[in-house]
Amino acid sequence: MKAVIIAAGKGNRLWEKTDKRPKTLLPYDNGTILSRIITNLSEAGIKEIILVIGYNGHHIENYLSSGEFDGYNISCITNNEWDRGNGLSVHLTRDKTDGEPFILSMADHIVPVSALKRIIDSPETANLLLVDPKVDVVFDIDDATKMKLENDKIIDIGKEIAEYDHIDCGVFRLTERFYRAMERALEKGEESISAAVNQLIAGDDMKGVFLESHESWIDIDTPEAYRHALEKLKT
């Protein structure tokens, strides 16, 4: 199975900390946020990674060519419209995923290998999203994307929904149907991944794969979240 990582955006809330480099290149553990995501995907069984770059993407290309990733099968696609909705970045990969299910990961969400394996190996044929039921321990819950589920079926999603019982961990397993949903969203002038996901939810085609009680993840979207992520490495 292939994985797509979208790293095209500017990362406004961490811009000053990254010196105009994409935030996925921030130091993390013994490497960077990006290297941890790539390593975790590889350890979970992913054989090929498609990285969508955009804002100052040459920094990522230089990083990938440094030798650290020798032996990995990683290719880059450039989204020249990186300042538009993130769904455009995923849509650019359609010809690269060969009509097969693929993993989609944000470039700032770090999730454990065990959870990645569970979503990769799921026998479900629906589109899938890794979700965390532990809403009371999620860092920066106000900024998190929230969901309402019935059993494993996602029935509502959004940052501002009033009723929710799970949190979006930023890792999907998607089918060709996602691209068709993205096209319908684009026809309506909606460019976000969430717009396509809402199309899938409306068609009962979006289910959750659950994070287990001992597993944790982090969305590194703000300076505070980055400091929190670094503190967690010490525990």
Q: Where are the beta strands (DSSP E) in 21-177?
A: 27-28, 31-32, 48-53, 74-78, 102-106, 109-110, 127-132, 146-150, 153-158, 166-174
- Facing residues of 173 across strands? 103, 128
Alpha-carbon distance 174 to 180, whole Å?
11
pLDDT (0 to 100) of residue 13: 61
Tell me, what DSSP letter sits at residue 82?
Answer: T
- Which numeric CATH code is attached to 2-233? 3.90.550.10
Structure tokens of 213? 């009680």
Relative orientation angle of helices 176-187 and 193-202, to the nearest 10 degrees: 110
Structure tokens of 8? 């095209």
Residues 6+ apart with CB under 8 A from 71: none
Residue with tokens 């935030």: 23
In the chain, where are the structural domains located?
2-233
pLDDT (0 to 100) of residue 14: 63
Q: pTM for the full model?
A: 0.94
Buried residues in 62-92 as b, exposed as e (16+ CB within 10 A): ebbeeeebeeeebeebbbeebeebbbbbbbb
Reading the chain (235 residues) residue by residue, the pLDDT tens digits are 999 999 998 876 665 554 578 889 999 999 999 999 999 999 999 999 999 999 999 999 999 998 889 989 999 999 999 999 999 999 999 999 999 999 999 999 999 999 999 999 999 999 999 999 999 988 888 888 999 999 999 999 988 898 999 999 999 999 999 999 999 999 999 999 999 999 999 999 999 999 999 999 999 988 899 999 999 887 7
